[in-house]
Structures are given as structure tokens and as C-alpha cells.
Chain A
Amino acid sequence: MRITNNMIINNMISNIGRNLARLETYQRKMATGKKISVPSDDPVVAARALKLRTDVSMINQYKTNVEDAMSWLEITESSLANVGEILQRARELAVQGSSDTATAEDTKKIADEIEQLKVQLIQIANATYAGRYIFSGFKTDTKLLDDDGNFLIDVSNSESIMYEIGISDKINVNVVGCQLFNDGTDATAGDPAKLIQNMNDFINALVIGDKNLISDCLTKFDKDINNLLAIRSSVGARYNRLELTKDRLENDLLNFTALMSENEDVDQAENIMLLKNEENVYKASLSAGASIMQTSLIDFLR
């Protein structure tokens, strides 16, 4: 093949250009730390990158949801613990009051104490988490009970507040007031809460001094305590599930972040090697080009 000057120069320019383009690719990867900068660099990596970003963002959101659910349940649990102590105390007082040795003076004192416990119970029923009434079902902006222990709102067992803690994975974070304060039956506004009613019955029995009625209250308290324990164990179980979910989400986050990095991040060690290699190729092509451009037959004529 006949080789002409412009052929050599054109080839040299395009080869050097190609080397420089490759050098630029590695240089860009080095600077951005990413394998791709536009989808056409590798459409498959781009598609996976989009998917993984969404996954990571969702996991992060689920994680905050789990943490918020845990603090809601912690508040609920501490309220339930208080209710437990009150009921336990009421039961003890019922035992004292029902004994034959209790005088009228004693029952009067017991009645006073129970009155205080009742007020405490009503306060707990209106407990809040971040300004929301935790036992009011969906009506989180309204108190559950009035000062006399009557329901201010309709509350039904179906009013479970669900937090999303995974794809199609939800958890109930609230204990609906009627479960705890109305013995598990749906309540209507204006009705007295059964738990408070029991307290009132007890006070009445104490005031009358009827030992049989006081004994009846004892069984009622036992029943209430059992109900409470059932609710507490359910809350505890939910809390456990949240802890497990949190662990799992943290693992997921780690795995997905690793996957994301594997998918789109550059292996810097490898990249530096390739970059250096390309740099050498580029320099070599420059010096070869420079030397061939300078010589011609003219240099050797006389």
C-alpha cells in the first residue's frame, strides 16, 4: 500500500484522539468514583442503579417508621405498666376491705385512696404521644374519657393504627382504649368505661360497707388484671417483632448499600492501574507520532 504524508498524520491524530478518549474515561471514573455517568455507558448498570436507589430509600423510610413505632409502643407500655400497678393496688385494697377486721373507718380510707386511683386511671386513659391521645383509636385529637370516666367518643376495636414497616408488612402500634378500659367491647360516647365503673362500684361497696359486694369487686379486679396482662403481652410481642424488624432492616440497608456500591462504584485500585496503563499508551503514541512526523527524505538530501 502506498503511504502518504496525510495518511500518517490523519491516522496519528485519530489514534491519539482515541487514546485520549480512553484516558478521559478512566480519568472521569477516577474523579466521580462511578462506573457510569449516563445510562448509555451501561444501560444494565443504570437500570439496577435506579432500582437499588429506590430500595435503599425505602429501607431507610421503613427504618424510621420502625423507630417511631417503637417509641409509640414504649409510651403505651409505660402507661400499661401504670395501669397494672393501679389495678394491683386496687386489688390489695379490695382484699383488705373485704376482711372481717376492716372497720368502717378503714373502708372510708380505702374508698378515698381508690378515688385517687380512679383519677389516675382517667389521666392514663388520656395519655399522649407527641400531642396525640394514644388510647383514642383513630380520634387521636380527642380525649378518651371525661373526668367522670365516661367515654367522650365512639371507640371500636377496629381502629388499629397501622405503621408500614416493610413492603406489605404493617404493624399495629396502638392499643385501642376500649380494649383496656371497656373490657374489650366497643364503646359508645357517653357510656361509662367499664374499668372506671368497677372502681366506682368498689367505692360504693366500701361506702355501704357491704363485704359481699367488696368481694365481688375482687373478682372483677382479677378479671381486669388478666385482661391487662393479655394486652401487655401483645404489646411486648409487637415490640419484639419491631426489634427483629429493625435488625433485619439494618442488615438490609448494609447489604443494599453494598450492592449499590458494587453496582455503580469504581474499583479504584483497578481503575488507577488502567489509568496509568492508558497514560503510558498515550505518551508512547505521542512520542512515536512526533518522531515520525519530523522525518522525511528531505532530511537526508545533502
Chain B
Amino acid sequence: MRSSFFGFNVAISGLYTAQRNLDVINNNITNVNTPGYSRQQTVQKASRPMSMYNGTGMVGTGSEVIGVKRVRDEYLDSMYWSENMNFGEWETKKALLSDLEVTFNEPSDSGFNKIMDEFFNSLQELAKDPSSEAIRALVKERGVTLARYFNDLATRLENLQVDVNDRIETTVARINSIGAQIQQLNRQIYTMELDGNTANELRDQRTLLIDELSKLINIDVSEVVVGTLPNGQIDSRLVITISGKAFIDHYSFSELTVVQRETKLNEEDVPNLYDVVWKDGNTLKIKGGVLKGYLDVRDGNAGENGSPLYNGIPNYIKKLNQFVQTFAMAFNEGYIDLDNNGLIDPSEDGRGHVDGYGAGATASSGIRFFTMLGEDYKSMSGDDFINGATDIPDIVARYSKITAKNFAVSSDILEDFNKIATSSTPGEAGNIENLSALIKFRINDQMFVEGAPEDFMKSVITTLGVNSQQAKRFSANKEIIVKQIENRRLSESGVSLDEEVSNMVKQQQAYSAAAQMINTMAEIYDILINRVGL
């Protein structure tokens, strides 16, 4: 015997189901532009049927919505995270190397070549008229310009290093902030899912945070199954590790922090740079992401002293230092390491500025053209600079104190340009034998392993150009890969308005049909109750 109003109940379940579906569609449509949102679908099934007692089969009892699930491919997420890490690293390097290129300002009409050209051209002019005071003053000024060029470049490189250092601190702070938010979400998601539901929106938010985190640092994300809950659900917990150590483990969260270095990693570094470590004191090896990009560029010195194997800022400062040391030593003393064994033998001591004489009958030799800025930021005299050294190894050792930042024209020359040593014999105004030797340094291709001075700088610029080009290409490639994965995710989880609108029409029709069904039922009961038998 069936219940009299059975039909109404079936039709009402149809109305409810259509309504619930419309709610989900509505939610999807409003979240079409929400970042990280995954479209949701209702899980709908036919209600439990009723068996007829007289053995005439089972009668359906309508439909019901038993859940709302999000459409998400978690495999795509993990792919996205590992590629996003590479993208973060190379995008950072690309930006920083572009800054470096701008700093070097080559090729241009005001870069190294121009300054070197002008310095040597002034020496050429002096060679034609060694007694001219005007030209001597010009040589002095061009020498100062050359020194200032290196001072300025080194200062700008150091500023860039400090700037990157600050950004490392900010990035670590951001990583910690994301960690704290994920920890919070873990708690909420776990509690909400205890009863077997899926916390769709919260999971979306968490994935979005992990997306951001994956760009900053290398992470491994996994949901570890730890057992089953009393209700039979799988009990899984989210674990995020950085280089093997847990950053987030379910409810617990281990922070990163920065500490100032006590000893410099590279001798070219500015003091007190940050090391990124675990707050509990453990060391951390960063293998990817924006943070690695920053660290490589800030510390990279081609792998020396345990620095990253990358040509970063210290590497360029080192090259500049090497340039000014070698150039000043050759120009002042005439030392050129012909056999590239790192030592100056007596046979490698050629004619340099100290071997010549300036203008005037009483001019003496032993004047050095280039020295360095002393502690008071004033140019040192040649004698103070060389500090009484007389043996070749001792003199060479003095030159290792010159850096691009303190490179300067000696105070002897600054005070009296007549001391520019042009002559090989005192008192000979037209003698330019010493000056000719100095001019030759410009094309001396044995001064550096790379060749002449300009070849050395050319190789520095080319290295930078090649590295920057590589970073640009890698960054572009990784960006394409990340975008592709992002597209696949959007294809899987994104909201399609066309689809939602079609579903809306579909559900609307189902709703009207169910409503119509109620009408029909009402008519049937009208006949049964109002017209039959009375």
C-alpha cells in the first residue's frame, strides 16, 4: 500500500535537488574570477527506492544531493610547484643581472672603453709635447677619471649587494608569514573535514598560498596518511619540507630567520650580510626559488670559498679589483706576469712609471702614478702606499691592497703633475722613452691572461652579457612552462561561464518540471478528494 502523498514528496526532492544545484552554480559564477578557486560540483544520486510489499518491484523516491566536491587535479598542483620554483629563481636572476648590465653601462659612449681611450690618448698627446703643462694637467685629470670610474662602479655594485641582502630579509619574512597562514588553514581544514566533508574553499586558499611559497623557496608538499579516523575516513595531514626538514607539519610550523654573518664569505663582500637559517639554529641549504636567485647573485663567486657556483656580484667586484691591481702594478712598476705563474720574476720587471723621471732638471724617479685612497679617503702618496717595500714580492703584496673602490691617482701626481714620468733620463724635456713604455701597456696582451686591459674588461662584459642572456632565456622558458601548467589547471578547475549557464538552464528546467509535477499531483488529488464519491 503506497502513501497517498508519495508523489508530492518525490516532486519536492526534485525541487530541492535543482535548487541545491542552482546554489552551487551560482557560487561558481560569482567566483569565476577568484584566484585559486576550483569549480565545484554537486554529488547527486537517486534516493533510496521503496520495495513494494506485493512483490511488484521497487519504486524510486526522488533525488538527493549528498555532497559538494571541488574539481581539482592534485598532480598538476605538484607539477606547478616544482616548475614555479625554477621560474622564481630565474626571474629573479634575470632582473638582478639586468640591473648589473645597467650598472656597467656597456657598450656606450661613456663606459670603460671611452675612459680608457681618453686616458691613453692624453698620454699620446703628452708624448708629442712632454713639456706642456696643459697636457700634463690633462693626463692627471684623465687618470683621476679612470680611477673614479672604478670607484663609482664598485660602490654601485656594493649598493646592489646591500639591496639584494635587504630583499632576502623581506623574502624570508614573507615565507614565514605564508607558513603561519598555512598552519592556521591546516587546523581549520582538519577540523572541518573530520566529519567526512571536503573543505573546498579553505583547500583552495591553502593551495594558493603554497603556489606563492613554491616560487619563493624549494618545497616538497605531501599529504601524509597517518591512520583512519573513528568514522572510517582516512586521516591525512599536510607536510611541507624545505631541503628535507619540515617547515609545516600539520599543526606545527618551524620558522626561518636571518642572522648576520660574522665572517665574510667572499672578501669582496660588504660586511654583515645575512645567512638564512632555521630559527631553531639548524643550517639550511636553499636549492631553488626566488631566495636562491637572490643568494646566487649576492654571494656567487664562481664557487670559491664555498660560495654559490654562479657569477654574482662578488665575482664582478673581484674582477674589477683584479683589473685595477694588475693594471696599477704594470703601470707603476712595469711588472707583468709573462708566464702567468702568479709570481713576478726579476726578468718580468719592465719599465714602469717608477723607472722614469718627470719634468724639470731636479726630477727624481720612483714616483707612482696610481695608489689607493687611505683610511681618511684621501689619496695616498706612492711612498706611503709602498710602505718601504723594496723586494719584488713585497711590492707585489702591497698592490693586493688596492681595490676598485679605493683605486686612486697618487697624491704625488695630484699635487704636482710635473712628476708624471715621461723621460728615461732626468732633465731631458723631450725624452719620452719612459712614456712610450707606459703607452704600450694599452696594447700589452700579456698583462692579463685574457690579454690587454681592454680584452680583460671585454671578457667581463661578455661574461655578464652571456649570463644575463641565459637568465632571460631560462626565465622566459620557465614562464611558458608555468603558464602551460596553469592553463591545464584552469582547464581542469576553472569556471566556464558557458558551462555554468547551460547547467543553469538545465537545472531551471528540472525545477520547472518538478513544479509542474506538483501541479499534476494537485490536480490528481483534486479529482480524488473533491469529486470522487461526494
Near A by CB (< 8 A), chain B positions 70-118 give 97-98, 101-102, 104, 106-107, 113-114, 116-117
- Chain A window 132-156, contacts with chain B (Cβ cutoff 8 Å), 1 for yes, 0 for no: 1000111111100000000000000
Contact B501 A164 (CB under 8 A): no
Near B by CB (< 8 A), chain A positions 39-84 give 39-43, 46-47, 49-51, 53-54, 57-58, 61, 64-65, 68
Q: How far is the CA of A43 from the CA of B117 in the complex (A)?
A: 21
Instruction: Of the listed stretches A184-192, A244-252, A273-281, A293-301, name the one at the interface; the rest are far from the partner chain.
Output: A293-301
Contact A38 B487 (CB under 8 A): no
Contact B462 A5 (CB under 8 A): no
**Considering residues B102, B114, B466, B502, which has the most beta carbons from chain A within 10 angstroms of its beta carbon?**
B466
Chain A residue with minimal CB distance to B469?
A40
Contact A61 B124 (CB under 8 A): yes
- Provide the residues of chain A in CB contact with B428, threshold 8 Å: 137-139, 159
**Which range holds the interface residue count of chain B?**
35 or more
Near A by CB (< 8 A), chain B positions 38-96 give none
Q: How far is the CA of A8 from the CA of B430 in the complex (A)?
A: 78
Say if the beta carbon of B483 comes within 8 Å of chain A.
yes
- Provide the residues of chain A in CB contact with B120, threshold 8 Å: 61
Contact A3 B496 (CB under 8 A): yes
How many Å from the CB of B357 to the closest CB on chain A? 11
- Provide the residues of chain A in CB contact with B32, threshold 8 Å: 5-6
A53-B114 contact given A43-B462, A138-B428, CB 8 Å threshold: yes
A43-B469 contact given A51-B454, A132-B131, A298-B497, CB 8 Å threshold: yes
- Chain B window 222-260, contacts with chain A (Cβ cutoff 8 Å), 1 for yes, 0 for no: 000000000000000000000000000000000000000
Say if the beta carbon of B443 comes within 8 Å of chain A.
yes
Say if the beta carbon of A36 comes within 8 Å of chain B.
yes
A7-B487 contact given A43-B465, A43-B469, A50-B113, CB 8 Å threshold: yes
Q: How far is the CA of A139 from the CA of B107 in the complex (A)?
A: 43
How many Å from the CB of B125 to the closest CB on chain A? 8
Say if the beta carbon of A10 comes within 8 Å of chain B.
yes
Q: How far is the CA of A4 from the CA of B38 in the complex (A)?
A: 12
Chain A residue with minimal CB distance to B442?
A58
Contact B121 A57 (CB under 8 A): yes
Q: How far is the CA of A110 from the CA of B457 in the complex (A)?
A: 70
Near A by CB (< 8 A), chain B positions 463-511 give 464-469, 471-472, 483, 486-487, 490-492, 494-498, 501-502, 505
- Provide the residues of chain A in CB contact with B461, threshold 8 Å: 39, 46-47, 50
Say if the beta carbon of B33 comes within 8 Å of chain A.
yes
- Chain A window 262-302, contacts with chain B (Cβ cutoff 8 Å), 1 for yes, 0 for no: 00100000000000000000000000000000001110010
- Provide the residues of chain B in CB contact with A138, threshold 8 Å: 423, 425, 428-431
Q: How far is the CA of A254 from the CA of B101 in the complex (A)?
A: 30
A38-B113 contact given A4-B496, A61-B124, A138-B431, CB 8 Å threshold: no
How many Å from the CB of B455 to the closest CB on chain A? 8
- Provide the residues of chain B in CB contact with A131, threshold 8 Å: 131
Contact B127 A46 (CB under 8 A): no
- Provide the residues of chain A in CB contact with B491, threshold 8 Å: 1-4, 7
A167-B443 contact given A40-B465, A159-B431, CB 8 Å threshold: yes
- Provide the residues of chain B in CB contact with A10, threshold 8 Å: 483, 486-487, 490
Contact A38 B465 (CB under 8 A): yes
- Provide the residues of chain B in CB contact with A43, threshold 8 Å: 462, 465-466, 469
- Provide the residues of chain A in CB contact with B464, threshold 8 Å: 39-40
- Provide the residues of chain B in CB contact with A142, threshold 8 Å: 429
Say if the beta carbon of A101 comes within 8 Å of chain B.
no
Say if the beta carbon of A31 comes within 8 Å of chain B.
no
Chain B residue with minimal CB distance to A45?
B107
Say if the beta carbon of B128 comes within 8 Å of chain A.
yes
Chain A residue with minimal CB distance to B428?
A138
Say if the beta carbon of A256 comes within 8 Å of chain B.
no
- Chain B window 399-422, contacts with chain A (Cβ cutoff 8 Å), 1 for yes, 0 for no: 000000000000000000000000
Say if the beta carbon of B458 comes within 8 Å of chain A.
yes
How many Å from the CB of B435 to the closest CB on chain A? 10
Say if the beta carbon of B436 comes within 8 Å of chain A.
yes
- Provide the residues of chain A in CB contact with B490, threshold 8 Å: 4, 6-7, 10
Say if the beta carbon of A11 comes within 8 Å of chain B.
yes
27 A–B contacts from the bound complex (CB under 8 Å): A2-B492, A4-B495, A7-B487, A39-B465, A40-B98, A40-B101, A40-B472, A43-B466, A46-B461, A46-B465, A50-B106, A50-B461, A53-B107, A53-B113, A54-B454, A65-B128, A132-B430, A137-B430, A139-B428, A139-B430, A161-B432, A162-B432, A164-B124, A174-B430, A296-B498, A297-B502, A301-B505
Q: Which of B's residues lie within 8 Å of A, judged by CB?
A: 32-33, 97-98, 101-102, 104, 106-107, 113-114, 116-117, 120-121, 124-125, 127-129, 131, 423, 425, 427-432, 436, 439, 443, 454, 457-458, 461-462, 464-469, 471-472, 483, 486-487, 490-492, 494-498, 501-502, 505
Known A-B contacts: A68-B128, A136-B430, A161-B432. Give 14 more (CB < 8 A): A2-B492, A7-B494, A10-B490, A38-B101, A40-B471, A50-B457, A57-B113, A57-B114, A61-B120, A131-B131, A159-B430, A163-B127, A264-B107, A297-B497
